[in-house]
Amino acid sequence: MGKLCNRMLLAVVTATAFASCSPQFVQKPAPSVTFVTIKGEKIAINDLRGKVILVNFWATDCPICLKEMPQLIETHRKFQGRGYETVAVAMRYDPPNRVVNYAEKNALPFKVAFDPIGEHAKAFGGVTLTPTTFIIDKRGNIVSRILGEPDFKKLREYLEKKLAEPA
C-alpha cells in the first residue's frame, strides 16, 4: 500500500508541476509605470500607446540575460522603424554602475532603465526571475509573458503579427 501511495503522490506532484509550468496567460492592461533610463530619460508606458513594446527584466549577473542580449538587439533593429520599442529593465539588486557599463560597452540600441526599489517588477506581477519578457500591444495590453530566453524566431513572428494589428 505504501508504494502505491508514493506512486500516486508522485503522479499528482508531476501533473501539478507540468500544469504550473504552462499556465494559461490572461491578457491584461499594462501597468501605468514610468521608467527612468540610464540617461535620465523618463518613459511612461502610457505615452507609448500605439506602439508594440517589449519590456525585458534582466540583470548583469544573469547568464541567460547576457546570452539573449544580441538577439534582443537584432530584434530591436529589425522592428524599430515600424512602431516598436524595447525597454530593458535592470532588476533592483543590479548595481547601477554595472548596468551603465554593460549598456555602454555593448552599445545597446534600446532604452535601458533602472528599477531601484523593485516597483516596476512588482507592477508587472511580481517579477523575480530573469529574464522575464513582456509584450505589450498597441492598445496597451500585456499580451505575452515569457520566462527565460525566448524562442526568437517565434517571438519575431509574433511581433510581426502584433505590428500588423490596428492600434
pLDDT for residue 5? 38
When mean pLDDT is compared across 21-25, 75-79, 119-123, 150-154, the lowest value belongs to 21-25
Fold of 26-164: Glutaredoxin (3.40.30)
> What cell was used for 163?
505590428
What order do you get walking across the sheet with 28-29 strand by strand?
Answer: 28-29, 141-147, 132-136, 52-58, 84-90, 111-114, 34-37, 42-44
Q: How far apart are the first and last CA of the chain?
A: 60
Which residues are CB-contacts of 62 (< 8 A; sequence separation ≥ 6)? 130, 131
How far apart CA 119 and CA 140 sit, in angstroms, is 19
Q: Which of 23, 69, 65, 56 is CA-nearest to residue 135?
A: 56
SS3 labels along 50-87: CCEEEEEEECCCCHHHHHHHHHHHHHHHHHHHHCEEEE
Cell digits of residue 6: 508514493
Q: What is the pLDDT of residues 3-58, one digit of tens each?
A: 433 333 333 333 333 333 444 668 899 999 999 999 999 999 999 999 999 999 99
pLDDT for the residue numbered 139: 96
pLDDT tens string 64-88: 999 999 999 999 999 999 999 999 9
pLDDT of residue 26: 82
Nearest to 94 by CA among 65, 71, 55: 65
Secondary structure of residue 125 in the 3-state scheme: coil
Write down the pTM of the prediction.
0.85
Question: How high is the pLDDT of residue 2?
Answer: 43
Q: Domain ranges in the chain? A: 26-164
